[in-house]
C-alpha cells in the first residue's frame, strides 16, 4: 500500500472536527476507506432511480440531509450511512473531513452545504444491506479512481447536450458532479492529484 493512503497520512491531510452550524439547509456524507485485495478502496452507493429525485441513479457517498436531532455534521454522516446501508460506523476511525461544498441539483436554485467526512475501517469488508434509497453499494479501488483510462466525458441528458468529467467504474456506473469534486479535493490534499477537471 502507498504509505500516503495510511489512516495517519490521510488524517494529517484533512480538516479536523465537525462543520460549523450552517446558515441554511445542510447535509453530510461518509467516505469510507479500507484496505482490500487491490489496496486502499472506497465505498460508493448508486442511488435508486426514483421519479422526482434530482440525483436519481447517480453515484454518491452514503449520506443525506441534516436532521433536527443530529448533533453535528459527523452525526449526520453516521446516521445516514446506518439508514442507507445498515453499516454502523461506530467502530470505524473518523479521519477528518474535506472542504464543505455547495450542493443542489444542477439546473435548479436549490442549494445546501454538504460536508464530506472520511472514515477508516479495519478488517473484512462489512456486509451492507441497502435500503430503498440505494440500488447498489460498491467498493472502488483507489487505483481505479486514479486510472486515466477511466476518465470520460459523461452525458447527462436532463442537463442538455453538455458533457461532464467523470470516472467510469464498475459496470456502466460513472462518478461525476459533486462526488467527483470531493474526490478531487481528497487526492489533491494527499499530493496525488487526479488528472481530471472538476
DSSP of 30-71, one letter per residue?
EEEEEEETTEEEEEEEEE---TT-TTTT-EE-SEEEPPTT--
Residue 19 confidence (pLDDT): 94
Specify if 81 maps to a domain.
yes
Residue whose C-alpha is closest to residue 62's, from 39, 80, 86: 80
Please report, in tens digits, the pLDDT of each residue of the chain (198 residues total): 567 899 999 999 999 999 998 888 999 999 999 999 999 999 999 999 876 666 678 999 999 999 999 999 999 999 999 999 999 998 899 999 999 998 765 555 667 899 999 999 999 999 999 999 999 999 999 999 999 999 999 987 777 778 999 999 998 899 999 999 999 999 999 999 999 976
Q: Assess if residue 122 is contained within a domain.
A: yes
The predicted pLDDT at position 171 comes to: 87
Give the DSSP letter of residue 140.
E
> CATH number, domain at 48?
3.90.79.10
Structure confidence at residue 57 (pLDDT): 81
Residue 136 lies in a domain: yes
Tens digits of residue pLDDT in 87-117: 999 889 999 999 999 876 555 566 789 999 9
Looking at residue 1, its pLDDT comes to 53
User: In the chain, which residue ranges form alpha helices assigned H by DSSP?
Assistant: 7-13, 73-85, 142-145, 177-189
Of 94, 110, 87, 114, residue with least CA distance to 102: 114
Does residue 125 fall inside a structural domain? yes
- Within a domain: residue 151? no
Domain residues for 120? 3-143+176-189
Residue 69: its pLDDT value, please? Answer: 92
3-state secondary structure of 188: helix
**Any domain includes 157:** no
Distance between CA atoms of 162 and 170, rounded to whole angstroms?
23
> Alpha carbon of 162 to those of 153, 154, 174: distances in Å?
9, 8, 16
Number of domains composing the chain: 1
Is 41 part of any domain? yes
153 domain residue, yes or no: no
Amino acid at each position: 500500500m502507498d504509505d500516503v493512503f495510511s489512516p495517519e497520512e490521510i488524517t494529517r491531510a484533512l480538516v479536523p472536527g465537525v462543520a460549523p452550524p450552517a446558515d441554511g439547509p445542510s447535509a453530510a456524507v461518509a467516505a469510507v476507506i479500507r484496505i482490500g485485495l487491490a489496496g486502499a478502496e472506497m465505498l460508493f452507493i448508486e442511488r435508486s432511480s426514483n421519479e422526482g429525485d434530482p440525483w436519481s441513479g447517480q453515484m454518491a457517498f452514503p449520506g443525506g440531509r441534516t436532521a433536527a436531532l443530529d448533533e453535528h455534521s459527523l452525526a449526520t454522516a453516521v446516521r445516514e450511512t446506518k439508514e442507507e446501508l445498515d453499516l454502523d460506523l461506530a467502530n470505524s476511525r473518523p479521519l477528518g473531513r474535506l472542504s464543505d461544498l455547495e450542493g443542489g441539483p444542477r439546473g435548479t436554485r436549490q442549494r445546501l452545504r454538504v460536508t464530506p467526512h472520511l472514515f477508516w475501517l479495519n478488517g473484512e469488508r462489512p456486509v451492507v444491506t441497502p435500503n430503498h434509497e440505494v440500488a447498489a453499494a460498491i467498493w472502488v479501488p483507489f487505483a481505479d479512481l486514479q486510472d486515466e483510462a477511466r476518465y470520460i466525458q459523461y452525458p447527462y441528458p436532463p442537463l442538455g447536450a453538455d458533457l461532464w468529467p467523470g470516472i467510469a467504474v464498475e459496470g456502466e456506473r460513472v462518478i461525476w458532479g459533486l462526488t467527483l469534486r470531493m474526490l478531487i479535493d481528497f487526492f489533491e490534499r494527499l499530493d496525488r492529484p487526479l488528472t481530471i477537471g472538476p
